[in-house]
Amino acid sequence: MSKRLTRAFFSRSVHLVAPDLIGVTLLFGGAGGRIVEVEAYDHTDPAAHSFRGPTPRNAVMFGPAGFAYVYRSYGIHWCLNFVCEPKGSASAVLIRAIEPTTGLPVMRRRRGVTDDRLLCSGPGRLCEALRISGADNRLALDAAPFELLARSGAVEIVVGPRIGLTKAADKPWRYGLKGSRYLSKPFGRLARRSA
């Protein structure tokens, strides 16, 4: 049985938290799986929503660590982020892909696909599979319906540039589980690190 992540886990720099999330199990309302891909955003980052200061949409990013920031993307999809420290730095980790392990039937139904590799391999897809929406913005990550379980062993992590950005597209702040078949997109030249 894995240990639940506490708020202390998120009360660190986003650049430490992001790679540490790879391999963590994310469940929402009992469905979900293992995190295999994330991206880090901080307030010095022109690509981050928080870059231009607090607004009603991004307010939760300016609050304490350990809460969910959910926003609508391209008017269609929802994207899930975890707010990190230090407080006021307005940094967060975008959860981009998970390997589905729990609640597969309900997730297949919500997504309308049978191929499990398409269930949660993308930020919009995983929110649809877990039924996460704007109503879940500001929820605490250490309480139901969220359940975050620490990884059990070491994992090999690959690093690369973030996906879909026009600003700061060169920053290597995307992290993935090496060799995972559930990434939203493959990584290029594999920079390797252990954790």
Partner DNA sequence: TGCCCGATTAACT
Partner DNA sequence: GTTAATCGGGCAA
Instruction: Report if residue 74 touches DNA, rule: CB under 7 A.
Output: yes
Instruction: Report if residue 167 touches DNA, rule: CB under 7 A.
Output: yes
Interacting stretch for DNA, rule CB under 7 A, among 13-21, 122-130, 137-145, 171-179? 122-130
* Residues 5, 29: Cα–Cα separation, whole Å: 16
Instruction: Report if residue 125 touches DNA, rule: CB under 7 A.
Output: yes
Least separation, in Å, of the C-beta of 74 and DNA? 4
- Residue 33: its H or E element: strand 31-41
Q: Six-digit token pair at 21?
A: 């999330």
* Residues 38, 99: Cα–Cα separation, whole Å: 12
- Which residues 8-37 are close enough to bind DNA by CB under 7 A? none
Residue from 52, 117, 181, 193 in contact with DNA (CB under 7 A): 52
Instruction: Report if residue 162 touches DNA, rule: CB under 7 A.
Output: yes
Residue-wise DSSP of 125-146: HHHHHHT--GGGTT-BTTSTTE
The residue whose two tokens read 């309480």 is 143
Instruction: Report if residue 131 touches DNA, rule: CB under 7 A.
Output: no
Instruction: Report if residue 153 touches DNA, rule: CB under 7 A.
Output: no
Query: How many of the chain's residues bind DNA (CB under 7 A)?
Result: 37
CA-CA-CA-CA torsion sign (25, 26, 30, 32)? negative
DSSP character for 96? E
* Residues 163, 173: Cα–Cα separation, whole Å: 10
Instruction: Report if residue 57 touches DNA, rule: CB under 7 A.
Output: yes
Interacting stretch for DNA, rule CB under 7 A, among 4-12, 16-24, 70-78, 140-148? 70-78
Report yes or no: 40 and 15 within 8 Å, Cβ to Cβ. yes
The angle that helices 123-130 and 104-111 make with each other, rounded to 10 degrees, is 120
Least separation, in Å, of the C-beta of 108 and DNA? 12
Instruction: Report if residue 171 touches DNA, rule: CB under 7 A.
Output: no
Nearer to DNA, 98 or 157 (CB): 98
Residues near DNA (CB under 7 A) are 39, 41, 47-50, 52, 55-58, 61, 69, 72-77, 79, 81, 92, 94, 111, 113, 118, 122-125, 162-167, 184
